[in-house]
Amino acid sequence: MDLFKLGYDIALHLYALGMLPKIGWEAWRHGKYRKSFAARLGRGFPSVAKDERPLIWVHAVSLGETKAVAPLVEKLAQHGRILFSTATETGYQEALKSVKASQHVFLPYDLPYIIRPIVRRIRPSVVILVESDFWLNFQDAAHEVGAKVVLVNGKISERSFRRFAKFPALARRLLGSLDYLCVQGELYQQRFCALGLSQDKVVITGNLKLDAPRLESQPLAKKEGDFILTLGSTHDPEERLWLEAIKTCPNLKVYLVPRHPERFESVASLLEASGLMWGKWSQQADFSKVQVILVDAMGVLQRCYQISDLAFVGGSLTQKVGGHNILEPSVYGVPVLYGPYMWGQRDFLELMQRYQAGCEVTETTLSSTLCQLMQNSEARQRMGAGGKQIFAHSSGALSTTYQQVLGVNPQL
């Protein structure tokens, strides 16, 4: 008997039971999980048409990972059929728009009686995991049907590294079932190897998010003289803090883009109580009548960044999140503001600081920093130019990762 797997399954069941009240509350209150819960139980998992080509199962946990891996999936589609899974509803919606796959699905929960029968029926030739979403039963089931399991755009946060270091048996069992790892940089290579992985199968390929193509869609309209600030991927309490800061800086137009759709309603309540003139994207609000537009729709954030004079990337003024991709506005030459809590995105922070493409703000410096940058076009231009240099000097991850995936999988 595999005692380790038994312990893992028991812990997973206990965690699932503990999460049920939260899932029920979020589904009732915000509509979250309504689409994904039954699918993640394995219900309605689609059949995949069989032909002579190999099946490549690509899994990206959420929105950012889905966007990052989409160009790689497009290249791999030349070599087989693509089954693309995500774990969140935002990731799933993004996949439907940007990922060219034969099937889009939610990844079933990693309970053995749910995931193993599905993997045995689908029989992938290759399983590709994105960044840091590991599932023991999924990975073991893939090996049982002869699939290679590859990590791309791999990373491991400092917090996760410390946890794995405390439980080396877990690290060896979970990470040891990866056949090959394509990681973002030297820091992550060192961390994986320190957890017992052979350096022979941990290769640095770069960050796919830095190879993402610029948005080619029609940019939003911008009136001459408007100064536009986009508050992207925000969490609680970031909206409240920024709404207070906005009041101190006149002649400012703001796109406010919460990270999670289920929070649109609560952010609207904050705006209603703020005293600011505001409107909703879904109701076609424009800056001729309002100062703040709540972007209550998915897939709009990049278009907002395109025409911004300044951007803030959320998840960084709250300790709970640890930051998001603060380089997203930089590809358009937009200077970036971010908070002090970037522990989950150390690599992006290092690049941002090295190229001086933005600056850190805190709760107490939001207003002063915003007003100073509004008045200092030279500083904004320097930051924007630094952001563009990041992407000019960091390309190549897509091609390198693609070649490595092909090289480790002879079936492709």
Q: Is 65 a catalytic residue?
A: yes
213: Cβ contacts below 8 Å, ≥ 6 apart: 71
Cα(152)–Cα(101) distance, rounded to whole angstroms? 17
CA 385 to chain centre: 25
CA-nearest of 329, 307, 335 to 226 is 307
Cα(153)–Cα(33) distance, rounded to whole angstroms? 27
Cα(181)–Cα(404) distance, rounded to whole angstroms? 9
Environment class of residue 351 by beta-carbon count within 10 Å: exposed (0-12), middle (13-18) or buried (19+)? buried
Under 8 Å between Cβ of 383 and 357:
yes
What 213-219 contacts at long range (C-beta under 8 Å, 24+ apart), as own/partner pairs, is 213/71, 214/331, 214/332, 215/302, 215/303, 215/306, 217/302, 217/303, 219/303, 219/306, 219/307
- The active-site residue, picked from 65, 131, 238, 239, is 65
**Token code pair at residue 105:** 């699905």
Residues classed as catalytic: 65
